[in-house]
Structure 1
Amino acid sequence: MKTLKDIHALYDKKVLMRVDFNVPFYESGNIADDSRIRAHIPTIEYLIKAGAKVALISHLGNPEQSLQPVAERLSVLLKDAVTFIGDCLSHHTFKTMDNLGEGCVVLLENTRAYEEEKNNDPDFAQKLAKGFDIYINDAFATAHRKHASTYGVAQFIEKKCAGLLMQTEVETLSKVMQKPSKPFVVMIGGAKVSSKLGVLKSLAQKADTMLIGGAMANTFLKATGVDIGQSLYEENMLQEALQVLQMANQHNCKVILPSDATVAEKLEAGVPTQNPSINDVPENMMILDIGKHTQAVWAETIKDSATVLWNGPCGVFEIEPFHLGTKAVAQAVAKAHAFTVLGGGDTLHAAEIFNVKGDIDYVSTGGGALLAFMEGQTLPAIEALSS
């Protein structure tokens, strides 16, 4: 994969740069969180300083939503005007860039407004590419998608490379997955084994210890013969869970499942809870978080690690009192002397809620892309930069 260091002549070049500006909005229309915009600032500033003429292209989840508010916010962050262009194929784009001159930045409209985007339509991709000298992809979070603006366009622009964010993501995650400092501890949680099965199998072959929490732990517990009461689990994943445990054993990866749990009769804020041993879960209750003993054991395990990868919550952390397990893990990761990495939307949200984000060594911008990368898949957008 080529990087910006491999592109020597940027001055006065027209650059099409794929970013991920899929930011959340309040009902008022104001941007709720601009962290995805901020993540691309280093690459944008690099190109401005080099005298390139930059056209940024991104998607928003809602095809009817405009990126114009993002252009306004980006102008504030860059302390310079970013011109918004109301579509992706306008003949005015290059005229605007030429009028603005070297070091200018324009933002094109939401790619999801075009059906051809998600279909990776080659004609649409060629139209996006036409007139640009260089293509840069800085959007790791969308690297697992084979869309026109993340994959197809790269086939029609000879000079292409990864942006600084994409480069950092790939290099950091490659180091963690291929040559982590030992002991390598993984905390993986979330709702379903099925959504992270490939990741579980991959990490079972690489980690020294794997802590499994969230509702997915219920499936593992059920598979090993534990009575989990009314807890949610995946019946069709029981054999797969056993295979993961067997694979971990074959690769000397110690799997630590919850030894106790916070349980309740229903999932509501402020309901009465109990903290039984995992083998004593009442038949009328459901597991909604890891228990106090598990919190202590996992915190100690994380403390003794050299590398920590955290993906997924331990329980229903958005609702008290089922937040304590995720909070304990978050604080343990933040205090660890290890190299710490977290990723995934829920995990990032938890880190922000428990005020530990600033204490994590590396926070990945990827969700689905991060899972695909950890699983060992070849990400289409990265492949396109290497072709």
Structure 2
Amino acid sequence: MNKIKKINQIDLRGKRVLIRVDFNVPINGNEISSDFRLKASMKTIKYCIKEKSKIIIMSHLGRPKSNESNLSLHPIYLYLKKYFDKNNVIFSKDCISKKSINISKNLNPTEIHLLENLRFHSGELNNSETFAFKLSQHAEIYINDAFGTSHRSHASNSSILNFFKKKCFGFLMDKEFNCLTNLKLNKKFGIILGGAKVSTKLGMINHFIDKADSIFIGGGMSFTFLKSMNKKIGNSLFEKKMLGIAKDTLEKSISSKTKIFLPEDFVCSKEISSSSNIEEKSINDFAQDDIGLDIGSKTIDLFLNEIKSLEKIIWNGPMGFFEIDLYKNGTAKLAEFISNLSSNNKLTSIIGGGDTVSAIIELGLSNNFTHISTGGGASLKLLSGEKLELVQSWGNND
């Protein structure tokens, strides 16, 4: 990491700069539902404007099988055109055509050129050197500001490094790495984990056992742990293959400094999509056909009471089936409580994971946390103590 230059360590004045951003945002029709990731890279783009750079922006959107019009970056072009109303913003319908490369080579200082979806070409996901070389023809300097893709080896963030002598991280990348790696674990801190699967969070759990004071487990993944304790979980989903590992993890925590907190009660229903027969139940009172869909009030109180004694919290994964209003109370209560503590400088809060971030944005609390990561899988991997593919690729090119 120390070898990777920061954007303010390279002379960008008047130069053509190719910025890899993560503008993989939700779009309905032509409307952008959330501009959280767009705004996250604006500091880098504005800095390039200040330096009178000629700016070329590239990103992916979704997982297209070909040139799918609903996954075009054209709505993002319209957003940028409005956001940078004093700058000339140009859109190219292909990212490696001769026409688009000529546009980049003839840009004036402070002009912005947005390229079409990188994944319209198979070479992006295949980490093709040929595709990466064509992308490199757009500019003299390469800037990576796409933390959300840093756990992948793709042409636009891996092979492309072979074709630039001058390359650096943008401000967002630098911020993400600083927040997620310089955790200073001397303070009393805890981890909240939710979502459906233990398997995706196991690395993070193992990394922090004996480092964290508390690990709070909610969401669907809690049922695998409860099942491993021979609790009756009704018809709730669990990972059968992870039962042994879940049991070992709980036993491992007993001899460590880390205390694991599991839900004591849940909001239950017989069917996920039904609004009838919803009731709050202790885990000890589950019927055979009960499905746990959110943490209950006793669990909320238990978690909040423990969290208020902490100085730092890392949260990845919702506490319930947040997409349905009936089952978002647990996530909402935790978010409101943690955001209040953070706003009053009583708690350092780091949020990761796409679903958790979406929930917090929906609740209107996104400005109240210390750091909200733009990377789901990337933040999870980094917080599990693993090295990201992007960093490995960068190391091989220095």
TM-score, structure 1 normalization: 0.94
Shift of 1:155: 1.7
Using the alignment, how far apart are the partners of 1:345 and 1:131 within structure 2? 31
Change in 2 beyond 3 A, CA 1:271/1:145: same
Q: Which residue of 1 aligns with 2:173?
A: 166
Using the alignment, how far apart are the partners of 2:44 and 2:329 within structure 1? 38
Q: Which residue of 2 aligns with 1:360?
A: 369
Segment drifting more, 226-235 vs 260-269? 260-269
Q: State the SS of the aligned residue for 1:168.
A: helix
Using the alignment, how far apart are the partners of 1:251 and 1:299 within structure 2? 22
Q: Which residue of 1 aligns with 2:287?
A: 282
Deviations 1:327-379 (A, max 9, x none): 22111211222011112111012112333222112111011111111112211
Q: Determine which of 23, 26, 35 is the counterpart of 1:24.
A: 26
Q: Which residue of 2 aligns with 1:214?
A: 219
Using the alignment, how far apart are the partners of 1:378 and 1:194 within structure 2? 18
Q: Which residue of 2 aligns with 1:50?
A: 51
Using the alignment, how far apart are the partners of 1:332 and 1:18 within structure 2? 35
Q: Residues 104 and 139 of structure 2 are in contact (CA less than 8 Å); yes or no, is this contact kept in structure 1?
A: no
Q: Residues 182 and 208 of structure 1 are in contact (CA less than 8 Å); yes or no, is this contact kept in structure 2?
A: no
Using the alignment, how far apart are the partners of 2:75 and 2:282 within structure 1? 51
Q: Which residue of 2 aligns with 1:294?
A: 299
Q: Residues 18 and 150 of structure 1 are in contact (CA less than 8 Å); yes or no, is this contact kept in structure 2?
A: yes
Q: Determine which of 197, 200, 203 is the counterpart of 2:202.
A: 197
Change in 2 beyond 3 A, CA 1:342/1:269: farther
Aligned pairs (5 A) from 1:287-326: 287-326=292-331
- Pairing 1:89–2:99 present: no
Aligned pairs (5 A) from 1:257-276: 257-276=262-281
Q: Residues 125 and 153 of structure 1 are in contact (CA less than 8 Å); yes or no, is this contact kept in structure 2?
A: yes
Q: Residues 270 and 320 of structure 1 are in contact (CA less than 8 Å); yes or no, is this contact kept in structure 2?
A: no
Aligned residues: CA RMSD: 1.7
Segment drifting more, 139-148 vs 220-229? 220-229
Q: Which residue of 2 aligns with 1:68?
A: 74
Change in 2 beyond 3 A, CA 1:94/1:12: farther
Q: Which residue of 2 aligns with 1:13?
A: 15
Shift of 1:169: 0.5
Q: Which residue of 1 aligns with 2:355?
A: 346
Segment drifting more, 213-222 vs 127-136? 127-136
Residue 386 of structure 2 aligns to which amino acid in structure 1?
Answer: Q
Using the alignment, how far apart are the partners of 2:268 and 2:207 within structure 1? 30
Q: Determine which of 114, 117, 121 is the counterpart of 2:124.
A: 117
Using the alignment, how far apart are the partners of 2:210 and 2:100 within structure 1? 49
Runs of at least 5 residues in structure 1 that lack an aligned partner in the other structure: none
Using the alignment, how far apart are the partners of 1:146 and 1:13 within structure 2? 26
Q: Which residue of 2 aligns with 1:240?
A: 245
Q: Residues 269 and 319 of structure 1 are in contact (CA less than 8 Å); yes or no, is this contact kept in structure 2?
A: no
Using the alignment, how far apart are the partners of 2:111 and 2:140 within structure 1? 15
Q: Determine which of 104, 112, 121 is the counterpart of 1:105.
A: 112
Shift of 1:99: 3.9
Q: Determine which of 96, 109, 130 is the counterpart of 2:137.
A: 130
Q: State the SS of the aligned residue for 1:16.
A: strand
Q: Which residue of 1 aligns with 2:228?
A: 223
Using the alignment, how far apart are the partners of 1:278 and 1:174 within structure 2? 36
Using the alignment, how far apart are the partners of 1:319 and 1:93 within structure 2? 43
Segment drifting more, 368-377 vs 185-194? 368-377
Q: State the SS of the aligned residue for 2:280.
A: coil
Segment drifting more, 38-47 vs 346-355? 346-355
Change in 2 beyond 3 A, CA 1:271/1:378: same
Residue 53 of structure 2 aligns to which amino acid in structure 1?
Answer: A
Using the alignment, how far apart are the partners of 2:298 and 2:360 within structure 1? 22
Using the alignment, how far apart are the partners of 1:49 and 1:326 within structure 2? 40
Shift of 1:209: 0.3
Q: Residues 205 and 247 of structure 1 are in contact (CA less than 8 Å); yes or no, is this contact kept in structure 2?
A: no
